[in-house]
Amino acid sequence: MNVATIAEKLFLKVFGGNEGLTNEVSGGYTSDLLSDVMGHANAGDVWITLQTHKNIAAIASLKEVAAVILVKGFEPDTDTLAQANEEGIPLLGTTDETFEITGKLYRLLNG
Amino acid sequence: MQTFRADLHIHTVLSPCGDMDMTPRNIVQLAKQRGMNIIGISDHNSTLQANLIKQLGEQENILALCGAEVTTKEEVHCLCFFDKDEELSSFQRFINERLSNIPNNVDYFGYQVVVNENNEILDEIGVLLTAAINASIEEIEAKVHKLNGIFIPAHINKSQNSLLSQLGFLPKGLNVDALELSRHIKVEDFIATNAYLSKYSFIQSSDAHFPDDIGKVYTEFYMEEPTFNELRMALRKENGRSIVGHNA
C-alpha cells in the first residue's frame, strides 16, 4: 500500500511533501522522542508524532520513513513544511489522537 | 585574568522538586563555603526567586545569574539567564503568557513557593512549573537573545528532557551560547561521539535540588572578573576568555 492510499483511507490532510505520496508503506512507528525514532524507526514506516519541530523532517529523511503523520490537529512549523517539501517526505495530519490513528493505521496495514 | 568557579544550574524551594532547605540564604552560604564565585539560579519555568539570591550573593561576593530552566514545547530543558532586572521581568512575563494550566499536585510533585530572606513564604505558585510552556525552543532562544540573555540547552546528554533526547540533534540555526552536560559524562568523551558539536563551549553544573549538591559540580571560567558580560564572552570564547576546566 502506498502513502496516497493510506492518506485517502484514513482521511489525512496532506500538508506537503507530495512527491513522496507514491512511497510504499511497510509498517508504522509511533514516538515523540526524536532520539528514539533515530534509533528504532525503520525505512518504509509511517511515523506518527505530535512533534512539529523542523527536526522531524530531517530525521524522517535520514531514516527514509514513508511519511509522517501529525496528530491532534497540529500543524507543521513553517520551516518543517519547507524541509518536508524539499526532501519529498509526505507530511500528513489528522485530528485524531495518537492512540486512535495508530490503531487505524495498524488495522489498515494488518487487516 | 584569572579562574572563577561557576555552578550555573541550581534549583530553589520554588521548583517543586527543590528541597525546602534550598532557601536563598542557604544557597548563598553553601556556595560560598564550597568556593563558588558564580552561581546560576534556574528554577523550572520561573525566575521569581532569583533576584533575592542575587542581592544576598552581592553581600558575600558571589555573582548570582538570574534566570530559569525553561521547558520548551518539545520538552527540552534550557537554561536562560539575564543581566538586568527589566530583562528578567520581561522574560518572566513571556513565560507567564505561555505557562500550561495544569495544576500542581503538592503531594506528588512538591511545594512551589517564593520566600523572602527570612524564609517566610510570600507566594505559592498554583500551576505545575515543570510542564512545557507553549513556545518552541527557537522562539525561546530568540526571546532570550532579544533580551540580551544567555541561552544554554541543559544536560543535553540525558535521556529525558534534553535537546538530544527530544530533538535528536542540535537544530540548524539554533543560536546557543554553550551546551550543558550532566555530571555523568566527561566532556571529551561526549565530543568523541558527537563531533559536530565540538566547536561549542560546554559547561557542567550540579543541577542541585538539595543543599548537599550545591557546588559539587562546577565549571572553571578564565576571565577578567565575575560579571555577566565576562561570563558570556567566556562561553563564546571571545577576547581571550574561555572555559578552562570542569569538575564533575
Cβ density class B87-110: b for 16+ within 10 Å, e for less:
bbbebbebbeebbeeeebeeeebb
B64 within 8 A of B6, measured Cβ to Cβ = no
Q: What are the residue ranges of helices labelled H in A15-67?
A: 34-40, 55-63
Decide if A33 touches B, using CB distance below 8 A. Answer: yes
Beta strand extents in B20-164 (DSSP E only): 38-44, 63-71, 77-82, 113-115, 121-124, 150-153
Domain count, chain A: 1
Q: What mean pLDDT comes out for the span A79-105?
A: 97
pLDDT at A111: 81
Per-residue DSSP letter, A2: B
**CATH code, domain carrying A94:** 3.40.1390.20
Report the pLDDT averaged over residues B97-123.
95
Question: B165 at the A interface (CB within 8 A)?
Answer: yes
What domains, with CATH codes, occur in chain B?
A: 2-247 (3.20.20.140)
Band (pLDDT 50/70/90 cuts) for residue B1 is very high
Give the pTM. Answer: 0.94
pLDDT value for A18: 97
Residue-level pLDDT at B187 = 97
ipTM of model: 0.88
Q: Which residues contact B65 (CB under 8 A, 6 or more apart)?
A: B8, B38, B39, B40, B41, B81, B82, B150, B228, B231
- Residue B133's SS3 state is coil
Chain B residues within 8 A of A34 when measuring between CB atoms: 165-168
Q: Which domain holds residue A100?
A: 3-110
Give me chain B's average pLDDT, please.
Answer: 97
Q: Among residues B200, B88, B74, B43, which one has the least CA distance to residue B139? A: B74
Q: Which three cell numbers stand for residue B205?
A: 553544573
CA–CA min distance A95, chain B (Å): 19
Residues of chain B with C-beta less than 8 angstroms from the C-beta of A54: 171-172
Q: Which three cell numbers stand for residue A15?
A: 500538508
Taking residue B195's Cβ as centre, other Cβ atoms within 10 Å add up to 8
- By Cβ distance, the residue of B136, B165, B172 closest to A33 is B165
**A38:B168 CB<8 A:** yes
Say which residues have a Cβ less than 8 Å from residue A96's Cβ, sequence separation at least 6: A71, A72, A104
Contact residues on chain B for A58, CB-CB shorter than 8 A: 168-169
The answer to whether B98 and B133 are in contact (CB under 8 A) is yes
CA-CA distance, B75 to B78, in Å (whole number)?
Answer: 9
Residue A80 forms contact with B (CB below 8 Å):
no
Contacts of B168 in chain A (CB under 8 A): 34-35, 37-38, 55, 58-59
How far is it, in rounded angstroms, from Cα B35 to Cα B50?
Answer: 20
* Mean local confidence (pLDDT), B138-166: 97
Flag whether pLDDT at B73 surpasses 90.
yes
